[in-house]
Structure formats: structure tokens, C-alpha cells
């Protein structure tokens, strides 16, 4: 059978044959095949013509002499190294640091930040409430008044508060145990009455973000204590407590304005508040973190055993962490600052590198 | 002075000695660059650049064919420029027909402003060959130029291309095959030349 289709090897052999690059054995074999295979002979003819055509190309006229002058070969000054690599590296490093810090924050320090930052939301409301005592009570959670709170909380206010709370706690528990179901309604109604007093003092502006946060906590039925607080109409604590309680009471939307006010009325604590908000937003995926965030409501701080059962594991560890409160929020604030700085640095250096690269290309 | 002595002197930084070598090889170097690039200005730039680079790196010459060493430098300079052009493509030389295809005929290349002498000089056949050569992949073109334009044997071509002998053989064969296929598009221009070749073969 005659092979009409030539292989790549055949073409190579033909090409080498034309250049006289085959040894005698290869040449003899090819010449034998050329007789029996017309396709091979035709291709050889074509390649021969092509080769001749290529070789027929005239040598072009050289436009000038390429003799070198001393100026041409004087060692050219190395171009000033563009700053691009430096900025590029700086951008990469700061981005990496940012990721590391955020990761550390997210994994290790976020829960604390949330835990202690939440009360701070409430704190300003309490501070703006008429009674300073109430403010102190609230500040029990707040880091600023941590020291005062430790003494005050345990001694008078808290005692009074919980002495009165405890009896009612059972009722409130009943309400709360009903979960965020209809039974919540009455308690929620109580709060607004308290709440209404405060919004008068504080400009309430509804904004979507805080509502989201409320929504998150609302979805979790972890607020057995807060109803208790709300239920207690104690003269001293009631005004302060609702403020702190409001974040937890908000579930049913009537109280949403109250949670808004804290965030609005937080000019002094913006940093930590932001950290808390950030942490909450970041932690929404993990139910535990949101679950732990509300417990720091004032009642928890007092060594109350009762809420402990209701709030799973938090209350036991709470008093110990009291002292840490300052540190942890301070840390979260610092972390946030670092994150912002690193983020800004990454953006700036990245942008600089980009611009430099474009500049150097142009 | 013979070539090794000139090279030796150039290694010591003697520019005059190196320029003697330039005078010997500049036509071949320019021809290689011209066929690689396809236009005069780029070829001249690549040639000049190649000689400057050769002078600075002459110590890296390790014997063998000095021509192959020089042609390798200029070919690499052309590769660099061609790659740079690919990154920043310019308008294609070939005009497009109504269907958006490139017009594969050399006729459009004939400049109506050319003087009769130039028209004769730039014959259609020559333009066809150059056109096909420019449309080869760069590696194939370099191989075919070393052997068919510079007249190197396979060993020297392998040195000039910095590739194994087998690679050179294979590239050369494929380049010639592509050239054949491309030139068949200009068949009407070919018979005279081909007849001539055929007659030669008969002899």
C-alpha cells in the first residue's frame, strides 16, 4: 500500500536531504523510497523550489555603519530604580498584616470586644438618664466606670435591684420562657413606656444598621433577664435599666428606637462602639457570639446566680472578666485603629505602586 | 589581525579591535535583523543594539563560530522587540477585505507612487517571499534564516539559535513546509522560477 500522507519525520528527512545533512545510509534509504513514493518526490520538489526562492532573496542595503563610537559603549548609567517595587512590597506587607490582625481579632479577641462593647451602647443612655446612680449601675459593665461599678454595683444598687428583681424574675422568666413569642409582648410594652421618656431627651433617628443588630439579637431567645429588669419598676434602677435592657428588649420592634439612641448618643465612645458594631456584624454568622453579647446587661454583672441558669455559661465568667473589661475594649479599640491604619496603608501603597507602574509604562 | 586576536583585544576593552569585527559582520547581522523584523528602521536599531551588547558581553564568548555568537545576539534582540510589539499591537499591515479577512495577495503592497525602477526592484515574487517569511512563527523564521539566508550548516545554526540539532532540523523542515504552502497562494508568480529550478534538477 502506498503511503500518500507524509509524516513530520519524512519532511525532516527531505529537508535535511536537500541540505546534504543525511549520512550515506539515510540518503540511500530515502532515495529508494523516492522512486516508489510519488508523494515523497513531489514534496521534495516543492521543498527544493521553496529553498531556492528563499536563497534568492537579495541582501538588503545596510542603511548605515554600525561601527561603535566610544559614546555608545560608555557604561550607561543605571536607570534610577523605580519606586514601584518598594511600594508594591509595602502594599503586600501591610495587606498581609491587616489580614493577620483581623484574623486575630476575629478568632481570639472578637468575643470579648462584643461582650464588653455592647453594654457601652447602653451606657450613654443611662448616663443621660436623670439619675447618676443609674448611670453608675449601667457603667458597671462599662469599662470607664469599671472601678466604681465594682464597688457600687455589688453593694447598694445591685442589691436593691436584684432584691426586687428576683421575686419578679420568676414572672418575667415565665414571660421570657415563652420565648420571643406572644408572651414577650407585655414585657415589650413595658419598656416602651420607659423608653418613651428617654427619646424625648435624645434625638432618635432610625437608621437601618442598628436595626439589623437588634434583629440579630432578637432572633435569639436569650433575654430572660432583661424582661425581669423591665418588669421591676424599681425607682432607682428602672430608669437606668431599661436603657441597658432596651437592646435586649428590642426584639419586637417597638423598642428599636431605644437601641438606636445609644449608637447615636455615643460620641465619646465611637471607637469602641464601632468595634462592637463591627464585631457584631462580623460575628453574625456564629450564633454563640451574638448570644454572648447581650448577657452583659447590668443584671448579669451582679453576682446573680439566677440569670446564670438562664444565660448558659456567661455569668460565671463574667465577674472575673470585670477587671479585664477595660483592657479588652481598649485592646479592641487599638486593634480597630491598627486595622484602619493598615488598611489605609495598604490602599495608599497599592495605589502608589499602581500609579508608578502606569507612569513607568507610559 | 586575525579574528581570535581581535576578539582577544576586544575582551581587553579595545574598541578599535571590536570595530574591525563590526566591519566584517555588520552586513550579515543587519540582514538577519532585517529578515527577522521586516523593516529597515527596526533592523538597524536591533543591529546597533546587538553590537553594543556584544561589546559589553564579549567575555561571555566561549569560542566556536563568532558569527553564530553575533547572530544569536541580534536574533535575541529581535525576539525582544517582536515580543514588545506583540504586547502593544499596532494596526496590521494587511488591509481587510469586506468579510474582514486579510487580503492575501502581494498586489496591494505595490506602491503606485513607486518609480518604475523601484517597482522592478521590488518584484512581486520577492514581496511574496518576504510576505510568507514574515508570517512564519519567529522561531521558524530564525531557523530558516540561519540556514537559507546565512548559509550555515546545521551545527553552526544550532549554536546560533542556542538549540539542539534535532530542534533546528525540525524547525527548518516545518518552516520550509509552511513557506511552500504560503507560496502556493502566489502560484501565478512562480512558474518561471520554478521551471528554472526544475531544469536545474534535471541536469
Tens digits of residue pLDDT in A191-226: 443 444 444 444 444 444 444 444 344 444 444 444
pLDDT, tens digit (0-9, with 9 covering 90-100), for A235-251: 443 344 444 434 444 34
Place of cell 526592484: B121
Residue A81 has pLDDT above 70, yes or no: no
Contact (CB, 8 A) for B132 and B189: no
The minimum CA-CA distance between B98 and chain A, rounded to whole Å, is 31
Task: Answer with the residue of higher pLDDT: B194 or A74.
Answer: A74
Task: Answer with the residue of higher pLDDT: A271 or A50.
Answer: A50
pLDDT, tens digit (0-9, with 9 covering 90-100), for A168-180: 444 444 444 444 4
Q: Count Cβ atoms below 10 Å from residue A340 Cβ, excluding itself.
A: 13
Report pLDDT for B197. 47
Predicted TM-score (pTM) of the model is 0.47
Report pLDDT for A362. 55
Inter-chain contact B149–A55, Cβ cutoff 8 Å? yes
Task: Tell me which CATH code domain B108-203 carries.
Answer: 1.10.10.10
Task: Answer with the residue of higher pLDDT: B25 or A241.
Answer: B25
Report pLDDT for A109. 60
In this structure, what C-alpha cell is assigned to residue A93? Answer: 506587607
Per mean pLDDT, which range of A30-39, A62-71, A155-164, B110-119 is the poorest?
A155-164
Mark A268-303 as b/e (b = at least 16 C-beta within 10 Å). Answer: ebebbbbbbbbbbebbeeeeebbbbbbbbbbbbbbe
Contact (CB, 8 A) for B47 and B75: no
Residue B144 has pLDDT above 90, yes or no: yes
Average pLDDT for residues A303-328, to the nearest whole number?
44
Partner B contacted by A208 (CB < 8 A):
no
Spell out which residues of chain B touch residue A67, defining contact as CB-CB under 8 Å: 19, 22-23, 26
The mean of the pLDDT values for chain B is: 83
Please report the number of interchain residue pairs, chain A to chain B, with beta-carbon separation below 8 angstroms. 112
The minimum CA-CA distance between A16 and chain B, rounded to whole Å, is 7
Q: How confident is the model at residue A82 (pLDDT cuts 50, 70, 90)?
A: low
Report pLDDT for A147. 44
Contact (CB, 8 A) for A189 and A253: no
Report pLDDT for A289. 40
Instruction: With H, G, I as helix, E, B as strand and everything else as coil, classify residue B119.
Output: helix
Contact (CB, 8 A) for B154 and A23: no
pLDDT, tens digit (0-9, with 9 covering 90-100), for A84-138: 778 888 888 888 888 888 888 777 765 554 444 444 444 444 444 444 444 444 4
Residue B29 has pLDDT above 60, yes or no: yes
Contact (CB, 8 A) for A218 and A252: yes
ipTM of the complex: 0.78
In this structure, what C-alpha cell is assigned to residue B157? Answer: 545554526
The minimum CA-CA distance between A338 and chain B, rounded to whole Å, is 41
Q: How confident is the model at residue A290 (pLDDT cuts 50, 70, 90)?
A: very low
Nearest to B40 among A59, A63, A65 (CB): A63
Average pLDDT for residues A153-163, to the nearest whole number?
43
Per mean pLDDT, which range of B98-107, B139-148, B161-170 is the poorest?
B98-107
Q: What are phi and psi of B96, to 5 degrees?
A: -100, 145
Sign of CA dihedral B94, B95, B96, B97: negative
Average pLDDT for residues B20-24, to the nearest whole number?
95
Report pLDDT for A248. 40
Beta-bridge partner residues of B102: B96
Spell out which residues of chain A touch residue B118, defining contact as CB-CB under 8 Å: none
Average pLDDT for residues A331-335, to the nearest whole number?
74
Question: Where are the domains positioned within chain A?
Answer: 8-38, 112-345
> Nearest residue of B to residue A12 by CA position?
B173
Average pLDDT for residues A315-325, to the nearest whole number?
45
HSE at residue A18, side-chain half, CA atoms within 13 A, is 27
Spell out which residues of chain B touch residue A8, defining contact as CB-CB under 8 Å: 170, 173-174
Question: Where are the domains positioned within chain B?
Answer: 1-88, 108-203
Question: How far is Cα A98 from Cα A300, in angstroms, rounded to an integer?
Answer: 35
Nearest to A60 among B31, B147, B173 (CB): B31
In this structure, what C-alpha cell is assigned to residue A22? Answer: 543525511
Query: Could you tell me the CA-to-CA distances from A107 to A120, A281, A282, A285, B141 in Å, in that order?
Result: 22, 14, 11, 13, 60
Residue A310 has pLDDT above 90, yes or no: no
Nearest to A62 among B19, B30, B198 (CB): B30
Question: How far is Cα B32 from Cα A60, in angstroms, rounded to an integer?
Answer: 10
Question: How far is Cα A79 from Cα A68, in angstroms, rounded to an integer?
Answer: 22
In this structure, chain A runs to a length of: 362
Report pLDDT for A360. 63
CATH architecture of the region B1-88: Orthogonal Bundle (1.10)
Average pLDDT for residues B24-51, to the nearest whole number?
95
Per mean pLDDT, which range of A122-136, B24-38, B94-108 is the poorest?
A122-136
Contact (CB, 8 A) for A126 and A233: no
pLDDT, tens digit (0-9, with 9 covering 90-100), for B146-184: 999 999 999 999 999 999 999 999 999 999 999 999 988
Q: Count Cβ atoms below 10 Å from residue A34 Cβ, excluding itself.
A: 15
Average pLDDT for residues B93-120, to the nearest whole number?
55
Report pLDDT for B122. 56
Average pLDDT for residues A321-340, to the nearest whole number?
64
Mutate to test the interface with A, among B36, B197, B199 (most CBs of A within 10 A): B197
Report pLDDT for A288. 43
> Which candidate, A325, A282, A283, A318, places its Cα nearest to that of A301?
A318
Partner A contacted by B179 (CB < 8 A):
yes
Average pLDDT for residues B41-54, to the nearest whole number?
95
Residue A149 has pLDDT above 50, yes or no: no
Could you give the angle at the alpha carbon of A31 between the alpha carbons of A29 and A33, nearest 5°? 70
Please report the residues numbered 56 through 95 in chain B whose beta carbons come closer than 8 angstroms to any beta carbon of chain A.
56
Nearest to B19 among A19, A53, A67 (CB): A67
Partner B contacted by A78 (CB < 8 A):
no
Residue A151 has pLDDT above 70, yes or no: no
Spell out which residues of chain B touch residue A66, defining contact as CB-CB under 8 Å: 22, 26, 29-30, 44, 47-48, 51
The minimum CA-CA distance between B92 and chain A, rounded to whole Å, is 22
Sign of CA dihedral A119, A125, A128, A133: negative
Inter-chain contact A68–B52, Cβ cutoff 8 Å? yes
Question: How far is Cα A199 from Cα A193, in angstroms, rounded to an integer?
Answer: 10
Inter-chain contact B179–A72, Cβ cutoff 8 Å? no
The 3-state DSSP composition of chain B as helix, strand, coil percent (nearest 5) reads 75, 0, 25
Q: What is the DSSP letter of A284?
A: T
Q: How confident is the model at residue A355 (pLDDT cuts 50, 70, 90)?
A: confident
Residue B62 has pLDDT above 70, yes or no: yes
Spell out which residues of chain B touch residue A39, defining contact as CB-CB under 8 Å: none
Question: How far is Cα B52 from Cα B54, in angstroms, rounded to an integer?
Answer: 5
Inter-chain contact A8–B44, Cβ cutoff 8 Å? no
Report pLDDT for B113. 52
Question: Which long-range contacts link A144-152 to residues 24+ away (Cβ below 8 Å)?
Answer: A144/A326, A146/A322, A146/A323, A146/A325, A146/A326, A149/A301, A149/A322, A150/A322
Q: Which helix (H) or strand (E) holds B110?
A: none
Instruction: With H, G, I as helix, E, B as strand and everything else as coil, classify residue B13.
Output: coil
Partner A contacted by B144 (CB < 8 A):
yes
The minimum CA-CA distance between B11 and chain A, rounded to whole Å, is 13
Inter-chain contact B40–A60, Cβ cutoff 8 Å? yes
pLDDT, tens digit (0-9, with 9 covering 90-100), for A5-41: 788 899 999 999 999 999 999 999 999 999 999 999 9
Question: How far is Cα A156 from Cα A143, in angstroms, rounded to an integer?
Answer: 19
> Which candidate, A342, A351, A350, places its Cα nearest to that of A94?
A342
Report pLDDT for B125. 83
Task: Answer with the residue of higher pLDDT: A58 or A326.
Answer: A58
Q: What are phi and psi of A27, to 5 degrees?
A: -65, -40
Q: How confident is the model at residue A334 (pLDDT cuts 50, 70, 90)?
A: confident
Nearest to A15 among B18, B19, B176 (CB): B176
In this structure, what C-alpha cell is assigned to residue A231? Answer: 418588669
The minimum CA-CA distance between A53 and chain B, rounded to whole Å, is 7
Please report the residues numbered 15 through 54 in chain A whose beta carbons come closer than 8 angstroms to any beta carbon of chain B.
15-16, 19, 21, 45-54
Instruction: With H, G, I as helix, E, B as strand and everything else as coil, classify residue B102.
Output: strand
Amino acid at each position: 500500500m502506498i503511503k500518500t500522507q507524509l509524516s513530520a519525520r519524512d519532511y525532516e528527512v527531505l529537508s535535511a536531504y536537500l541540505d546534504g545533512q543525511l549520512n550515506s545510509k539515510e540518503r540511500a534509504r530515502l532515495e529508494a523510497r523516492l522512486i516508489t513514493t510519488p508523494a515523497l518526490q513531489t514534496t521534495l520538489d516543492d521543498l527544493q523550489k521553496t529553498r531556492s526562492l528563499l536563497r534568492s532573496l537579495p541582501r538588503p542595503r545596510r542603511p548605515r555603519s554600525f561601527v561603535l563610537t566610544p559614546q555608545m559603549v560608555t557604561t550607561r548609567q543605571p536607570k534610577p530604580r523605580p519606586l514601584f517595587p518598594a511600594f508594591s512590597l509595602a502594599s503586600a506587607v501591610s495587606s498581609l498584616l491587616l489580614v493577620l490582625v483581623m484574623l486575630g481579632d476575629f478568632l481570639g479577641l472578637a468575643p470579648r470586644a462584643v461582650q464588653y462593647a455592647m453594654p457601652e451602647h447602653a451606657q450613654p443612655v443611662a448616663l443621660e438618664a436623670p439619675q447618676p446612680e443609674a448611670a453608675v449601675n449601667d457603667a458597671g459593665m462599662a469599662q470607664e466606670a469599671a472601678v466604681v461599678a465594682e464597688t457600687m454595683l455589688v453593694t447598694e444598687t445591685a442589691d436593691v435591684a436584684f432584691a426586687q428583681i428576683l421575686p419578679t424574675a420568676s414572672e418575667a422568666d415565665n414571660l421570657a420562657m415563652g420565648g420571643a413569642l406572644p408572651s414577650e409582648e407585655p414585657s415589650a410594652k413595658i419598656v416602651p413606656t420607659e423608653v418613651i421618656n428617654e427619646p424625648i431627651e435624645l434625638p432618635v433617628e432610625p437608621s437601618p444598621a442598628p436595626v439589623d443588630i437588634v434583629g440579630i439579637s432578637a432572633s435569639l431567645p436569650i433575654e430572660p433577664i432583661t424582661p425581669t429588669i423591665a418588669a421591676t419598676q424599681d425607682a432607682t434602677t428602672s430608669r437606668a435599666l431599661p436603657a441597658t435592657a432596651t437592646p435586649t428588649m428590642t426584639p419586637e420592634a417597638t423598642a428599636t428606637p431605644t437601641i438606636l439612641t445609644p449608637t447615636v448618643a455615643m460620641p465619646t465612645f465611637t471607637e469602641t462602639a464601632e468595634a462592637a458594631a463591627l464585631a457584631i456584624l462580623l460575628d453574625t454568622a456564629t450564633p454563640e457570639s451574638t448570644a454572648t453579647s447581650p448577657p452583659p446587661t447590668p443584671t448579669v454583672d451582679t453576682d446573680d446566680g439566677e440569670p446564670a441558669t438562664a444565660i448558659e455559661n456567661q455569668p460565671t465568667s463574667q465577674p472575673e472578666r470585670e477587671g479585664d473589661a477595660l483592657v479588652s475594649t481598649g485592646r479592641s479599640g487599638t486593634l480597630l485603629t491598627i486595622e484602619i491604619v493598615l488598611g489605609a496603608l495598604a490602599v495608599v501603597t497599592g495605589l502608589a505602586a499602581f500609579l508608578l507602574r502606569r507612569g513607568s509604562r507610559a | 589581525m586575525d579574528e581570535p586576536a581581535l576578539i582577544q583585544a576586544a575582551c581587553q576593552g579595545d574598541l578599535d579591535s571590536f570595530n574591525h569585527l563590526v566591519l566584517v559582520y555588520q552586513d550579515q547581522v543587519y540582514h538577519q535583523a532585517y529578515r527577522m523584523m521586516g523593516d529597515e528602521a527596526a533592523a538597524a536599531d536591533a543591529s546597533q543594539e546587538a553590537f553594543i551588547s556584544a561589546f559589553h558581553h564579549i567575555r561571555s564568548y566561549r569560542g566556536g563560530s563568532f558569527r553564530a555568537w553575533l547572530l544569536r545576539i541580534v536574533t535575541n534582540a529581535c525576539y525582544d522587540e517582536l515580543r514588545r510589539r506583540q504586547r502593544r499591537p499596532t494596526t496590521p499591515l494587511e488591509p481587510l477585505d469586506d468579510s474582514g479577512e486579510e487580503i492575501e495577495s502581494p498586489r496591494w503592497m505595490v506602491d503606485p507612487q513607486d518609480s518604475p525602477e523601484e517597482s522592478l526592484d521590488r518584484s512581486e515574487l520577492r514581496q511574496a517571499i518576504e510576505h510568507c517569511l514574515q508570517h512564519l512563527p519567529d522561531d521558524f523564521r530564525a531557523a530558516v534564516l540561519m540556514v537559507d539566508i546565512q548559509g550555515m550548516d546545521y551545527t553552526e545554526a544550532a549554536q546560533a539559535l542556542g538549540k539542539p540539532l534535532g530542534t533546528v532540523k525540525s524547525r527548518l523542515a516545518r518552516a520550509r513546509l509552511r513557506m511552500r504552502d504560503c507560496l502556493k497562494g502566489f502560484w501565478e508568480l512562480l512558474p518561471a522560477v520554478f521551471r528554472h529550478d526544475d531544469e536545474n534538477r534535471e541536469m
